[in-house]
Structure 1
Amino acid sequence: MNIFESLKMASSTLVSNKLRSSLTMLGIVIGNASVIATIGIGQGAQKLAEEQFEALGPNVMFVVPGSEESRRTQFDMPKTLVLEDARAIAAQVPTISEVAPQINQTAVITYRDRNVNESVIGTTPEFLKVRSFAIDKGRFINQIDLKRNTRVVVLGAELAEKFFPNQNPIGKQLRIKNTNFETVGVLKAKGSFLGDNQDKKAFIPLTTMANRIVGQTSPYGLEVSWINVTAKNEASIRAAKFQIENLLRLRHKI
């Protein structure tokens, strides 16, 4: 089970909790240890998961699409999250500090005669801060990359070591699917989150992912897998969740 499936499972079980009720079509999972109790995993694994959620920080939330059943609503509205939802949250929700949408795709990544089938994440510069990642070498995705759909990639620590042992990966070219990318950064080791190894991932600009890798667009805009959000402080989480819910209900007419 990957992190997206774990988050969706968590969001689907939160309906009965008044403080963390899911939207009809969209769910909000709060990065707080208490949410883990709803996932239904073993006690030992639950403790580990609690520690991993705590490591995210108490202010982190994930806005995730609902189930397929919940998407069977009126045909004239978005059935999933789109980039404009993230932009609306950033512009109209005063209790949040950072917003980072992302698109997830498993793809073949190749360097010379080495290749792996790993998770590629298309995202924005804010992802680094929201998810508490740190740069080890080079840089992360920037706004110019987004505007220009640049073919640049930032590698997780383990992925970088696999392709470039005892080498500096910066400037090296590799392929994701059938597209060449220049390595511009390497992240510090992060470990696993809910069983999903964060150090094997590759990160590229959200726009590049949409236009060159997955073509993930709809009549309503660029579809995203979920939206990472950071509240300004722990005290504002409840207000932030309420404001995001109301905003998305209006935007999606639910």
Structure 2
Amino acid sequence: MTSTNLPVRRIGFGAMHLPATPGDARDNAKAVARRAVELGAPLIDTAHLYGAGANEELLAETLYPYPDGLLITTKIGVARTGPGGEWRLDGRPAILRDQVDQALRRLRLDRIELLQLHRIDPETPLADQLGTLRDLRDQGKVNLIGLSEVTVDQLDQARDIVEIASVQNRYNALDREHEPVLDACERAGIAFLPWRPVAAGATGTHPEFARVAAETGATATQVALAWLLRRSPVMLPIPGTAHLGHLAENLAAERIRLSDAQFNALDGDIGARPDPA
């Protein structure tokens, strides 16, 4: 997946907030996942970290067999291998291979179309981590390889080892710490999947977003997502929610068209302000 073959629909769905424990919350989570597909979300993002694979199992139980055109992406590289069994970054080759095999089983897939390294493990050589993903790709278990929460230097180093199709960093209109990474992705034609694409609790109270929302008849959240889509052609936001109404609101943001004046007003110096969330 690159800027030249991004899905036609450009707002995906982050499944992190979907609870997998039995009961009403799980039933609602399944309804949200089904509705995301019905509303045309082209990509659903999950991870081994989300419930130690329970989130992957929930998606498969709900959506398998997956409809044509739906991309399920998962992330690996965080494991319960700390001294007391706590979660920690773990990019050792054996861990990565095992988590891919688990993801294939849980997601009921023969191949993971987009596999992302959840974080770079500073205690394992980068060549070992990405070399393992490259080997898994060569074995046919993975198609495309992505990264998450990386710097420009890390991205450059990674691209010397294996082709990188996507980067998933925190980014929104009020939090642009990773703007240099987005720019690097745009130059290289690498898809950029911002997580936390909306500054929760802050966007709606920001006067510029409130003003543009009133002008467009949209919500502040929709304006924030529309700003992202216009910000770069490689952008594919993955807002997450466990609320059906919020899901519909998020995916409908693709229809919002900002004028040059509106985009520039939001672009201004807003990004210099820290994200309070």
Q: TM-score under structure 1 normalisation?
A: 0.28
Higher helix fraction (1 or 2): 2
Higher strand fraction (1 or 2): 1
> Highest relative contact order (Cα 8 Å, sep 6+), 1 or 2?
1
